[in-house]
Amino acid sequence: MHVYFLGIGGTAMGNIAVLLKRLGWAVSGSDQKLYPPMSELLSAAGIVWREGYCASSLARENPGLVIVGNAFSRGNEEIEWLLAERKIPFTSLASFIGERVIGQRQSLVVAGTHGKTTTSTILTYLLREAGQQPGHLIGGVPRGGFSGAEWGRPQGPFVIEGDEYDSAFFDKRSKFIHYRPRIAVVNNVEFDHADIFRDLADVKRTFGHFIRLIPRQGYLLLNGDDPNCSDWAEVPWTQVLRVGLGRENDLRIADFSENANSAYFRLEWQGKPWLAGKWSLPGIFNARNAAMATLAAALYLSPTDPTKAEVPGWSGFRGVRRRQESLGVVGQWHFFEDFGHHPTAIRLALESFRERFPQHQLVCAVEPRSNTLRTNCLEAELQKALECADEVLLGPVDRLQALALESRLGTSSIAERLRKKGLRAEAFEEHAELQRYLEEKVKDPQGQPAVLILFSNGAFGGLPAKLHAWAQE
């Protein structure tokens, strides 16, 4: 069958497109803009795509099915043609995955506001190392050993990142509703996706719908330290286990420590020592991701007693691209890139970098690009997170003119308030301005040792690639 992806540059869309191509399907698609690493993966797989949308081109291709990305709405030329002509069937990616990819396999779904990509990648890694040959779909690009999507063993488990964002313009249910969870992870719950949800209660409502789909013999793994998860701590229709730092958790993270090169922690199962080890990923948040993934893998391998499962360690896990990923070193400057899209994720990453590089200045550059971060709905929370840095550089707000004046993130106001608190802070209207500013700082021979972290869920005007190039000179 020939499948056409409308929005092929999205991470999940692109990964499924590559998977289908490897399985022998004919695959093509379109998108407005494509960025590395997804553009690189599509090219390497031999998939041809178009930039921009053209109904006549879609008609000439005449695919057997169109998969519509969730970022698209009425008014798109190709969507209007599909609706008017009714010649080609279409569906959402989430529905396609649930019906054609997961099917009757045991589904391990990783949900939560933060940590989905890393946790689902760790879970996939552990099951692979245990010889299970899982199928998986990850909303990112794993580093080392496997791709973002694999079919896996037909009767084996399927690991998938469960996003609460809506499925398509014609299906406003959250994507994870389609994923048929057998074991579900809820890492945390916060207000996000301001373009979709009204408030935190609205977010919790859709998570509640997702949790109701877990069968009685399945498991719900909850962040036991997050009060926003407490509503589901004792649901009667499935088995619930809590993971966290507190002693009341079924699986407890203990003795966490980290430095510039590694982190160490132990896991205690119901008060007794279970596993321990070092790995390269920073932050207590990543230790929680590892704990969730370890318990999910162990429950799949040994449903009645996870401690009897032979779960491999985490030391060989290399992480995910764009998650606290090093871009290189220039002089006394260390460059990192992070998929920062929410104040809490930014704050936790900065706290970890502070712990790892205590002698360095912490310089934080943020591109407000997500549909939550580019509005002022979490402006106070963002400012609080940025106070963890020594210097803050705020890039231009993405698609600023599309926002109502009263709802725009006030980057200049944030910078001014941060300066009043004693931080160095600047807001830039153009990416080129920010790049010139950084180039002068980095090449100043009198400058202090510094760590620069770029936070964005987009291309940040090509700045990550530029920093990487500086490091190679």
The pLDDT tens digits for 128-141 are 999 999 999 988 77
Q: Give the per-residue pLDDT at 353.
A: 92
Map 213-242 to HEC letters: CCCCCCEEEEECCCHHHHHHCCCCCCEEEE
Q: What are the tens digits of pLDDT across the range 294-353?
A: 999 999 999 999 999 999 888 888 888 888 888 888 888 899 999 888 899 899 999 999
Cβ-count burial of 326 within 10 angstroms (0-12 exposed, 13-18 middle, 19+ buried)? Answer: exposed
Closest CA to 134 of 111, 150, 117, 147: 150
Cβ neighbours, 10 Å, residue 440: 9
C-alpha gyration radius of the chain: 22
Q: Give the per-residue pLDDT at 268.
A: 97
User: Which residue reads 């930039």 in tokens?
Assistant: 51
Contacts of 103 (CB under 8 A, 6+ apart): none
Grade residue 37 by pLDDT with cuts at 50, 70 and 90: confident
pLDDT at 461 over 90: no
Percent of all residues in the chain with a pLDDT value above 90, rounded to a whole number: 72
Amino acid occupying residue 182: R
Closest CA to 222 of 248, 203, 255, 197: 248
Grade residue 182 by pLDDT with cuts at 50, 70 and 90: very high
Mean of per-residue pLDDT scores for the chain: 92
Q: What are the tens digits of pLDDT across the range 145-160?
A: 778 889 999 889 999 9
Topology of domain 2-88, per CATH? Answer: Rossmann fold (3.40.50)
Topology of domain 325-472, per CATH? Answer: Protein-Tyrosine Phosphatase; Chain A (3.90.190)
- Using N-to-C axis directions, what is the helix angle for 431-442 and 463-472, rounded to 10°? 20
Residue 362 forms beta bridges with which residues?
451
- The full set of domain ranges for the chain reads 2-88, 96-308, 325-472
Type and span of the H or E element at 347: helix 343-356
Residue 6 forms beta bridges with which residues?
30, 68
Name the residue with higher pLDDT: 295 or 33: 295
Q: Provide the Cα torsion 194, 197, 202, 208; round to 10°.
A: -110
Looking only at the bridges linking them, the beta strands covering 424-427 and 391-394 are parallel
For 137-204, give the DSSP string. E-SS-BSSS--SEE---TTS-EEEE---SEEETTEEEEGGGGS-EEEEEE-------TTT-SSHHHHH
d(CA 280, CA 282): 6
148, 125 contact by CB (below 8 A): no
Overall average pLDDT of the 26-34 stretch:
92
Q: What are the tens digits of pLDDT across the range 114-132?
A: 899 999 999 999 999 999 9
User: Which residue reads 């950084």 in tokens?
Assistant: 438
Q: Provide the Cα torsion 278, 279, 282, 288; round to 10°.
A: -80
- Say if residue 37 is preceded by a cis peptide, omega within 30 of 0: yes
Grade residue 442 by pLDDT with cuts at 50, 70 and 90: confident
Map 237-276 to HEC letters: CCEEEEEECCCCCCEEEEEEEECCCCEEEEEEECCEEEEE
431, 454 contact by CB (below 8 A): no
In angstroms, the Cα distances linking 297 to 14, 77, 128, 239, 275 are 26, 44, 10, 16, 13
* Whether domain 96-308 has CATH 3.40.1190.10: yes
pLDDT at 473 over 70: no
pLDDT at 471 over 70: no
Amino acid occupying residue 131: G
